[in-house]
Structure 1
Amino acid sequence: MTTATRQGPLAHIKVLDLTRVRAGPTCVRQFADWGADVIKIESPEHMEVSDGWGGLRDGPDFQNLHRNKRSLALNLKDPAGLEVFYKLVESADVVAENFRPDVKFRLGIDYETLRKINPKLVYASISGFGQDGPYAKRPGFDHIVQGMAGLMSVTGHPDSGPMRAGIAVADVGAGLYCAMAVMTALLERQTSGQGQWVQVSLLQAMIAMLDFQAARWLFLGEIPVQAGNDHPTSIPTGVYPTADGHINIAAGEQAMFRRLCDALQRPDLMQDPRFDSEEGRSLNRHALNPLLAQITRQRSSAEWIAAFEAGHVAAGPINRMDQVFADEQVRHLGMAQPLAHPRLGEVEVVAQPFGLSRTPSQLRSVAPDRGEHSAQILAGCGYSAEHIERLRSAGVI
């Protein structure tokens, strides 16, 4: 990857990526896709330290998370390796890490150490529970945080017990919040000329993403409970059976429910005193939902979707992943983007979900092999070929 091919609104930004597993790489991917020079710093092969993925480097998850990066294999436990890292920090804009909170201090790569080298540095730390406090040293895993933050208590059917979300929502949420925080710090730096330490935890991100459910407790003292596929308050909003599967309907608002009744050819439902108000429908959901299910079972999913679209009723199919990427709107939006992999041939990864009219994101390269760009990166810092070879021979890179 050359400077010429690396374009975009963040092409002037250099990120040193010490992150691993998911939350950290999710953050850094936001910079890589928008043109930043992201240097993924990994332990050399001889140290037998993985990125948390074992032998799955060519797998879809690793490739999707680490595209558009360069890789430098560097032993940070070796004084010579630490010297190289400090040299890189001199010209870096961002350092991102998600080690356990104490590890950065033990390695000598904490914020206070690095800001003495580069006062403009924005240093991003993602942890499970925060950089300090009673839980700071606990291992932070998405599944654990989903439970601790309350998500599992409001997910699933009441008779099924706690239920985790089907994606790593705490990891991804923390990564995206961290990217936004780093962007904010970079913008502030334009005024102050100073960097700062950005801190995000999975626990904080997950609680923030609970949003209105968390606000119900803070404002009203209400403890939200599991509502299955129903919306907690707006009914009917949920999953309904059809002749050949299931569909989603969202018609809790008064005008939308009226249109739903018209599309179902059941205007009497709107006149029923149990269902003629939003509050009544929420209170009487166990009576309304079976009635709606009896009706929706009479036609196929496609027929109902067409009828609801014609009647301006919010509804949609419940797709498997193959159906998601076959959907005409998803294809139109270009959410699957191709990349050429040297071993796997053409592969597809998930595109960025937002666009900029003048400076769009770019998918330029697949995830790098470990240390693929070590010589290139060090040469760019002024190291001679002989010096680079000595570092390689000593196992530093």
Structure 2
Amino acid sequence: MLDNIEADFPEYAPRRPGAPKALDGIRVVDFSHFIAGPFATMILADMGAEVIKIEAPGPGDDLRRYPPVHPDLKHGAPFVWTNRNKRSVALDLKMPEGVAVARDLIATADVVVENFSTGVMERFGLDYEACRKIRPDIIYCSVSAYGREGAFADRLGFDPIAQVESGFVSMNGYADREGVRALSPVMDISTAMMACNAILGALVARERSGLGQAIEVSLFDSAVLMTGYATMQHLFSGANPQRHGNTSPDTCPSGVFRAQDCTFYINCGNDKIFQRLMAQVIDRADLAEAEIYATGPDRIRRRDELFAILGEAFARQPWSYWQARMRVAGVPCGQVRTVGEAIRSPEARERGIVTRIPHEKLGWIPNVTLPIRYSGTPIVDPVAAPAVGQHTESVLRELLGYDDSRLGRLASAGVFGADAARRPRQDAKV
């Protein structure tokens, strides 16, 4: 596991010394788990916010157990992907003493994020109304399945459920079978980005007005947005989108073709691209100028014959030949890759998307960076996801001024978990 990391990926290049951080001085107390909430707070952490992740003692965030789990880390790749640059504090929120510690942390925070089932934070006494009494200008972000109010507030939801109920799945796949879900948690990721955007907007608003506010972001709302302009097309036409596999219902020729050695995708988004494809790539200027292929609707009606012409041409040469010609001609195209091929591609290496970062137990661990490039406030240097409760003692000492006596009483009471009650805690440094 991770045997080839040094050969496959370069070492992360640190940010320039002394560069400011976009969210320096912002503190986030993060009660979220799984993907949508934690990915949102990881973006904030990458921008320089201090993110304190509150976890249940022992097992912690359920995402820790998603495979493959590294035996030395006691958590898996999905957790590593969404929890870098955070400090973990283990608190039993079912105990009044645990809630009291959480309230003390919230009193120092700018932002609270949670994605429990509706009603859980209220039962803990940590809902928005309770938190604004602790910190009147708090920004409180709730991420839920169907919203915190209304007839569906009690419903649980995960990414695949949002995909099917939003209509997203009905659009994807082939016409002769059921729609297909995206294996990537696209709704969790889009919801996380929406939550992060909302928090950033609320921080700007608070800077101007001095007022905090509650934010609500739902998985279902985000999933409907992710159906793209198909929603508006339906409202205009009354028709539901049909499944077209790898072809496009709006442009032609757009789809997958086969060179001598591999498959690739072309996207002819307008007439000019089609003309360049025919005249400059496959040397068929006659087809570029043909009246029957003059417009997008004309080409869509003749999709089968166009695909046959292109398929026959592309089969004569390898991908390297066609890629070079299409790049010169300005025809958008890309090789159909596996995930492993994509992250090791020249494009990924050029952009520094996947690197390796130091880890005290493993030596190195992979890191997938954000697609954000700040010129003035570069994202922070990545620190690997923490163990459950790794920073409990250091956070409570540094932020709250808890002394040995108070920490000892809380540990003995089991607030930090059974293991913490049995032995002294040694915090690893971030």
TM-score, normalised with respect to structure 1: 0.94
Match of 1:30 among 8, 23, 43: 43
Report 1:51-62 matches (<5 A).
51-54=62-65, 56=69, 57-62=74-79
What is the 5 A alignment of 1:349-388? 349-380=367-398, 381-388=400-407
d(CA) in 2 for partners of 1:238, 1:102: 47
Listed as ranges, the matches of 1:88-237 within 5 Å are 88-237=105-254
Aligned to 1:253: 270
Q: Structure 1: how far apart are the matches of 2:28 and 2:139?
A: 9
Contact 2:27 2:110 in 1 (8 A): yes
Q: What is the Cα deviation at residue 161 of structure 1?
A: 1.5
Per-residue deviation, residues 323-367 of structure 1 (Å, max 9, x unmatched)? 212222221211013221222221111101011101111233111
Matched, 1:278 2:296: yes
Contact 2:168–2:226 under 8 Å retained in 1: no
Which of 325, 337, 340 in structure 1 is aligned with 2:355?
337
**1:370, 1:189 → 2: CA distance?**
32
Q: In structure 2, what is the Cα distance between the partners aligned to 1:326 and 1:80?
A: 48
Aligned 8 A contact 2:144 2:219 in 1: yes
- Deviation at residue 232 of structure 1 after TM alignment: 2.2
Report the Cα distance in structure 2 between the residues aligned to 1:273 and 1:133, rounded to whole angstroms: 56
- Structure 2: 5+ residue runs without aligned partners? 1-16, 417-430
Aligned residues: 392
Match of 1:395 in 2: 414
Work out whether residues 130 and 201 of structure 1, in 8 Å CA contact, stay in contact via their aligned partners in 2. yes
Q: Distance in 1 between matches of 2:221 and 2:18?
A: 37
Aligned to 2:28: 15
Contact 1:155 1:162 in 2 (8 A): yes
Specify the code of the residue in structure 1 equivalent to 2:255. G
| Corresponding residue for residue 311 of structure 1 | 329
Distance 1:11 1:337, change over 3 A: farther
Provide the secondary structure at the position in 2 that maps to 1:210.
coil
The Cα offsets for residues 211-238 of structure 1, whole Å up to 9 and x where unpaired, read as 2111111233231111111122011111
> One-letter code of the match for 1:164?
R
CA distance in 1, matches of 2:121, 2:338: 42
1:39 to 52, 59, 67: 52
Per-residue deviation, residues 356-383 of structure 1 (Å, max 9, x unmatched): 1011112331111111111111112111
- Aligned in 2, Cα 1:348/1:49: closer, same or farther, shift over 3 Å? closer
Tell me the equivalent position of 2:8: none
Instruction: Give the drift of 1:18.
Output: 0.7
SS in structure 2 of the partner of residue 53 of structure 1: helix
How far off its partner does 1:52 sit?
A: 3.5
CA distance, structure 1, for counterparts of residue 29 and residue 211 of structure 2: 18
> Using a 3 Å threshold, how does the CA distance of structure 1 residues 283 and 134 change in structure 2: closer, same or farther?
farther
> Are residue 293 (structure 1) and residue 326 (structure 2) matched?
no
CA drift at 1:285: 1.7
Does the Cα contact within 8 Å between 2:64 and 2:76 map onto a contact in 1? Answer: no
Q: Partners of 1:42 and 1:217 in 2: how far apart? A: 43
Give 1:366's aligned amino acid.
Answer: A
SS class of match (2:88): strand
**What RMSD over aligned residues (CA atoms) do the two structures have, in Å?**
1.8
Preserved CA contact (<8 Å) 1:5 1:364: no
Q: Assess if the C-alpha contact under 8 Å between 1:69 and 1:368 holds in 2.
A: yes
SS at match of 1:240: strand
Deviates more, 1:266-275 or 1:337-346: 266-275
Cα pair distance change 1:363/1:317, threshold 3 Å: same
Aligned residue for 1:226, secondary structure, equals coil
User: Contact (CA 8 Å) 2:246, 2:255: kept in 1 or not?
Assistant: yes
Could you say which residue in structure 1 is the equivalent of 2:104? 87
